[in-house]
Amino acid sequence: MSEGVIPSVARNLGGWWRETLASRAPRFLAALGITAVVAFALSQSWQCWLDPIIDTGRDLYIPEQLARGAKLYRDIRYQYPPLAPYLLTLIGRSLAAYTAFGIAQSAVIAAALWVSLRRNTVAAAVATLFFVALSFCGASTWGANFIFPYTYAATIGMAFLMIALAALVHERVPIAFAALLLASWCKVEYAMAVVIVLMVVAITRRATPRQIGAFIAAWVASAAFVGLLFRDTKWLSDNVFASALTAGARAKHFYSFVAGTATWRDQALITLASLAGIVAVVLLLRMNRPLLTFGAIALGAGIASHGFFRAWAILEVAALA
């Protein structure tokens, strides 16, 4: 009997091991490829991240002044909510400390992207590769450098948003809401994004009404704390929402291009064309026409530019509804 049992157990263990390797090999290879891209990105950009002319330097000297006793909004003008500069006072004052912090927050974002999409190895790998290849450490401050970014408020807030995404995907609502709360105090745009996330969470029932109510109460309490902390400053009227940033011809011109209202007709046409392109790609995939599919993707990428993402947003809203 034992002579029959042992070979059977061995065969079962061997089959399990081969199945495990087969299932985990793509994930392992994807992680290995991402690690290689990270190493290459760091090596090709090493110590080329800092641009002292653009406003990177602001986030280097403001935390130092705060550590010496200065007060944000009263002694130092600052156009974002207060979390990022006070958080940066904890990391030290050397460029090496900032470099380590930039790499660490980038690793958090990459890991959060991977965790959010790990059920689909291809999607997880593509999303994470896009980040490490395009936004991790490009030698530029314009949204392509998370080591010395144009403002750490943007990158720190994005790290919190990505943590919230991963937590929501895996139904860790308390962690997600804590991360959303912190993200909202990095940039006003992120606070607006948090409102949208809460709406989506409520519609899709990812959180209970009690959890959403607890988050709102926590945010109101944090707002009261910030208001009390900066009660001797004009932190909203002269800093975060200063008239120089929100009113006047220059501000109107800037926001019209940021919001897309200045070129809405062109953007609408591009978005509609991109939407038609997405539909065409889906139909070609279903028809099993790979060459035509790749051609359609290449043509769309060359023509539509950011229109693809706007069109995708329309499809996401439709899917949500």
Q: Residues 92-107: pLDDT tens digits?
A: 778 889 999 999 999 9
Query: Does residue 164 or residue 140 have the better pLDDT?
Result: 164
Q: Does residue 58 carry a pLDDT above 70? A: yes
Distance, CA of 174 to CA of 164 (rounded, Å): 9
- Judged on CB neighbours under 10 Å (0-12, 13-18, 19+), 45 is middle
Average pLDDT over residues 209-230: 94
16: confidence class by pLDDT, cuts 50, 70, 90? very low
| Residue 198: per-residue pLDDT | 92
The total number of residues written for the chain in this structure:
321
Give the residue ranges of DSSP H helices in the chain: 2-45, 58-67, 83-88, 95-117, 121-134, 152-169, 173-184, 188-204, 209-229, 243-246, 249-259, 264-286, 290-304, 307-320
- Out of 10-14, 65-69, 152-156, least confident range: 10-14
| Residue 1: per-residue pLDDT | 47
| Residue 17: per-residue pLDDT | 46
- Out of 1-15, 243-257, 295-309, least confident range: 1-15
Q: Degrees (nearest 5) of the Cα angle 318, 198, 132?
A: 80
Check if the beta carbon of residue 165 is closer than 8 Å to that of residue 112.
yes
